[in-house]
Amino acid sequence: MTGDGSDDGEPLGRVFLSRVLEPGDEAGGRWVRERGVAEVVRRLRAGGEPLPGVSEVRWAGLVARAARADPECDLAVARAAGARFVCPGNAEWPRQLDDLGDGRPIGLWVRGRAGLRMWALRSVAVVGARSCTEYGTHAAATLAAGLAERGWVVVSGGAYGIDGAAHRGALAARGATVAVLACGVDRPYPRGHAALIARIAEQGLVVGELPPGDHPTPSRFILRNRVIAALTRGTVVVEAACRSGSLATARAAQRLGRFTMGVPGPVTSALSAGVHELLRGEATLVTDAAEVVELVGGMGELAPLRRGPVLPRDLLEPGARAVLAALPGDRAAPAEEIALGARTTRDDAIARLYELRALGYVERHGDGWKLTRQAMISVRTAHRGR
């Protein structure tokens, strides 16, 4: 048995501990690392003196839970629901979860046919508000579909709002998606997403730390977010108010050294205030899947440059553009005046003016030169694009 507990050959003991310890229990994680799974299980079953780092009251609660734990039953229930238990030392274990230190999951319950470790290597979290706007729903679904089309796995929490939109966007693109739940994977929550979570289990993966039948609590939702952050290459927050739980995912991603991104919203929307606060810090602004992949992907996966439409005047030589810009819009002007405005000589200005006349931008008016209707439209279009 190794002291770090990462390859202790005791998956049944970890199933037992998943029933006894709460997610993210760092004292329990330290016990496993220092003493190994078998010794921690023995001490919890025997009761007696508390292990270090917990009060007698808390130890008594853990011992009471241990007395009711039945790992063989939990495994049987999981198998009936099409789920398996994945733990450190298993080939399917995503090693980036080890970045959580003593707070890493004791193990994960997984529904779905895909391999969690391989999927997690190329995954992005898309999270946000439960009470989202139509803008947020559209942005999340479009972003997730774009990521899925590029071969990235979309990870979220299965909740109403942005989470659901992200899962549906990935599924609609026939891509891969993972729902990380704050309850047993055999007990879909929220109930209104039972059909969605069943579809995710069929086409993707449903993952959770809690054993079969366990219910969610507010603290379990917050602790679940650290798994989403650790599992993925980066986290995108689409909509979030200043007190949104999805910001906890972003903060966890920052602590873990993962990429943190935000999709901006209207400055008048309270549901985007939390995202904007992230963007004022260390988060990166993204607007589509290409920009996300440029950040989290491999070398050379660059987003296209964002440019306005190329106007005919953009194709002119710089000298010709300067002369064209020097012509007044409301009257004809002599060549001397135009040369002065373009900061060139009279002869050079005249040569450029004849070139521009051939292209349909200017026309002669006696001894002066004037913009044509085509040139006036081009100038107005250019000003609108600024």
DSSP H helical segments within 282-330, as ranges?
289-296, 318-326
Do 107-296 and 312-384 come out as alike in CATH topology?
Answer: no
Q: What is the pTM of this model?
A: 0.80
pLDDT of residue 48: 84
User: What fold does the segment set 107-296 form as a domain?
Assistant: Rossmann fold (3.40.50)
Q: How far is CA 333 from CA 361, 368, 380, in A?
A: 14, 5, 19
Closest by CA to 158, choosing from 219, 216, 108, is: 216
pLDDT of residue 270: 94
* Residue listed under structure tokens 């989202």: 132
CA dist., res. 348 & res. 360, Å (int) = 18
- Class assignment of domain 312-384? mainly alpha
Check whether the bond before 11 is cis (ω within 30° of 0).
no
**Amino acid in position 41:** V
pLDDT of residue 360: 86
Q: Are 153 and 171 within 8 A, CB to CB? A: no
CA dist., res. 203 & res. 223, Å (int) = 26
Q: Are 109 and 211 within 8 A, CB to CB? A: yes
Q: Are 241 and 247 within 8 A, CB to CB? A: no
CA dist., res. 361 & res. 37, Å (int) = 81
Residue 317 structure tokens: 């030589």
Structural domain boundaries in the chain: 11-86, 107-296, 312-384
Written as tens digits, the pLDDT of the chain (386 aa) is 333 344 444 899 999 999 999 999 999 999 999 999 999 999 999 988 999 999 999 999 999 999 999 999 999 999 999 999 999 999 999 999 999 999 999 999 999 999 999 999 999 999 999 999 999 999 999 999 999 999 999 999 999 999 999 999 999 999 999 999 999 999 889 999 999 999 999 999 999 999 999 999 999 999 999 999 999 999 999 999 998 889 999 999 999 999 999 999 999 999 999 999 999 999 999 999 999 999 998 745 555 666 666 566 777 889 998 999 898 888 899 999 999 999 999 999 999 999 888 888 889 988 899 998 877 766 555 545 44
CA dist., res. 74 & res. 15, Å (int) = 8
